[in-house]
Amino acid sequence: MAQLEELLSRAPESVSGLKRTDEGWQADVEVVEVERIPDTASIIASYRVTLDTRGELLGYERTRRYTRDQLDRRT
């Protein structure tokens, strides 16, 4: 998480998914990209993070951006 925070200059807020892979781990991490008032208008980004078996960051990509109050309609 510290490595991702350093790259994004933003602290990760939560982990919404975690999956074991052949190379290590894949995590979906939520980050507040734009803070707004009210808080429900803040822009959140979801990042897919790839980690090795020791937890070292191998790569990341932003997969989604949304406002905090937006419902997830994906099924």
Provide the residue range defining the domain that includes 8: 2-67
pLDDT of residue 70: 83
Q: Is residue 72 part of a domain?
A: no
Whole-model pTM: value is 0.86
Q: By CB neighbour count within 10 A (0-12 exposed, 13-18 middle, 19+ buried), where does 22 fall? A: exposed
Q: Is residue 75 part of a domain?
A: no
Our count of domains for the chain comes to 1
Q: Is residue 20 part of a domain?
A: yes
Tokens 């933003």 label which residue?
10
Q: Is residue 62 part of a domain?
A: yes
- pLDDT, one tens digit per residue, over 43-74 is 999 999 999 999 999 999 999 999 988 877 66
* pLDDT band for position 1 (cuts 50, 70, 90): confident
Q: Is residue 74 part of a domain?
A: no
Phi/psi of residue 70, nearest 5 degrees: -75, 130
